[in-house]
Structure 1
Amino acid sequence: MSSRLTFGTLKRIGAILIAIMIVIAAGIVVGQAPAIFGVEEDPEASITFEDQQGNGSTVTVQSVTLSEGGYVVISDGGDEPLAVSERLEAGSHENVTLEREDDATRELLGQLTATVHRDTSDDEGYAYEASGGEEDQPYLEDGFPVSDTATVTTGDDAVSDSFMVESIDVPATATTNETIEVNATIRNPTEFRAQQPVEVRIDGAVFARQVLELEGGETRTVALETDTSGAPPGNQSIGVYTEDDGVLDRIDLEFHTDPSVSVETASDGNVTVSAAIPEAGFVALERNGAAIGTTDRLEPGEHENVSLELSDNASIDEDEELTVALYAGNPDNAGAASPIEFEGEPVRTTFTPADVETGDSDDGGAGNDSSGE
């Protein structure tokens, strides 16, 4: 009797141990589920870029961590990078030194931004600008590029004479066709009266510029009237800059009108359109869903009488049905561009050349048949 009870007890203990092992194994599987089932976590990165003295040819990024490897890119708000690091392997890196690009038109001085980019291209080397932004895109955190800013000076008296931006005050929101007031507190750190330019930059581009004169040691708050026309919509960086100093903030810019595209004139080999495009892109002319022509690259905003250039050997008949559509991206790489949508629908217009005015009349052309309908 006693032996049977002991044997039954042992069986129950064994069953409990097996159950515990199953639970532990299941926990391990769950913890490894993303890797086992091919689900990848979002790539992550961090960077520290501190104020420093330099010689205009090199800068140092104090630390950078990349989950998948990639590059550090130095820019000053222009269209092209000033310096790009060698490819960095996944992990943490200290004191990464970057050299100025041979074709860079500006030295590595002033207010600079260091951004961490992924390595996604098949080609060797950094390819973000060359691919029209399709490859080697920045690492993102909360939807924004992972970056840090620093002021780089030479330590010379001429550079240290730059007016200093003590603080700025910008509206939280605006539209892309209004004049806003940006207030900046500027200080002259020298003992002498001087004149220097003060600029407002949105997304790196200059939108306002004023020459300011300050007495030695004077601090003044100035109002900079800034026309946002042409600025890209969305949450954008906005900053006030002097010769070698600057302060950044952010502003939510709403596109000032509904995205649209309409045909002005249409004949064999010649189509002109008007477009309200909320981001940098182009208008494509399509036949049966295939592009047979595009405009040049368009900046955000409203455009009139924009010519569409037909592809080689392409022609149009006056009675055929064609479509013009808005795309975000680069017309030189139209296959990688994305349709621009409004209220969930592509922004496009279908038309027949014979039904479009040639431009001799004031009646206009064909309007949108789909702008978020």
Structure 2
Amino acid sequence: MEDSTKKLMAIVLATVMMSSVAGMVGAQELRPQVEAPAGNDATVAFSDQTTDGTSVTVDSVNTPDGGFVVIHDDSLLDGEVTGSVIGVSEYLEPGENENVTVTLFDDVPGATFDRTELTENETLIAMPHRDTNANETYDFVATDGSDDGPYVANGSAVTDAANVTVEASETTGESFVVDNLTAPAVVERGDALDVTATVENPNDEADTQTVEYRFDGNVSAREEVSLDAGESTDFTTTVDTSEIASDAYIHGVYTREDGQPAQVLIVDEIVSFGVTDLTAPESVTAGDTVSVNATVSNPNEFAHEQPVQFRFDGDLVETRSVELEASNSTTVQFEIPTDGTPAGMYIHSVFSNDFGQDAIITIEAPDDDDDADDGDADDGDVDDGDAGDDADDGDADDGDADDGDADDGDAGDDDADDGESDDGNADDGDADDDDAGDDDAGDDDAGDGDDSGEDGSADDGDADDGDIDDGDDSSEDADDGGSSDGDADDGDSGEDGSADDGDADDGDDSGEDGSADDGDAGDGDDSGEDDGDEEQPETPEDG
């Protein structure tokens, strides 16, 4: 732009500015616009330039008392004094500053914008402003021009104008792609709206592109994202909803040619889901699976998703996300295994964010088979019903081949009748076992009751038996042919029970009864002769 044209425009703009400010204040007392002291005037230099549309650079600005350099768009020519402000610098200390960068459409207190960058070439105006309330914050727009007004020289605002050319973005490939937008569908007013999206570079080479987040059409976040070929990254931003009216809004993340929009509902309050009708068995056996049911209801006038918890004995077992339409309800069921849970009483619960229900369940120990009561825990027949004490019945020395049978120890201890009820008893004529006629060849007479071929009793009438208790009716076989029962020569060669054997324990090592040497070792018969049956008339009948 020619210098003369710029000077003329600056004069016009300064006139418009001062008249607009006076009209805007109206009946209010206009804060005096103080001119800079002589020799230290406020100045600004703003040259034509090319930009990417998001910022401009002011060549130099002098603020004698400190302040700001403000960028107006050309709507100032139409009388839009505060509405024309599209950018402001940070606070500038008193004096001259050079190459001051001013970001456009961002962080202007009191201003709102419907765009985020210049999209076409425009004429912009740079204007230094005072910090009249000395708080180092630009309050001109927020106070409708009553604070932080422009520096004035010769009764006019100090300004400079420049033609700003928007540079077309150079692209080396396809637009970045936006995917996986994540954000809540409903937000309680005052809570943060957290937004995340995946941005990917689909090109075969690295590139840098602009990614924006827009809420209700306006850009609230912008970022230059650099990605290698095929690389992706998460774009995140947060919206403060405390100043946003309760309503439904469209928001989204966008790149040059791609984007993902979504709807968010901002409400005054989100009421927690309710929990009712908790049902579960009162008792189960350890190892069973418990089914717990509860009704979850959404009292809100909008669809919503909320977590529902199941807790057992206070511990969190499962959290389930439940989504319900407005004023709807559903039944949730939790399946809980009890393997390894000790027997006892437990409290279990179903909770929503603010509500819940509890119940008590008893875990019972499983029934075990009790072998101690089975009658077989000691199935060695210690208690097998033998009044005769089988512990002694069937001794190794009992002599009965069948001794030790399960029925061996009958209440009457059949060993007392083992063919020897009188055999060797005190009446056997052998109390002194010294009877000269004891060596009766028929001593093992038919009445002896033991024809099995087996001696059957250690006291089978042996002359040397000497066992006063040999025929004892006691049920204890310990004395029935006990360890001392057999004479030293008791063991016959296997011909025991021979018709001529006479004494099962005859002591006859030859195995032949009636031998001239048949005399029992302890027989007491010194004659050395076998007297025969006729010489033993007093022998009682066995049996």
State the TM-score, normalizing by the size of structure 2.
0.21
The structure with the larger Rg is 2
More helix by proportion, 1 or 2? 1
More strand by proportion, 1 or 2? 1
Bigger RCO (CA 8 Å, 6+ sep): 1
State the TM-score, normalizing by the size of structure 1.
0.29
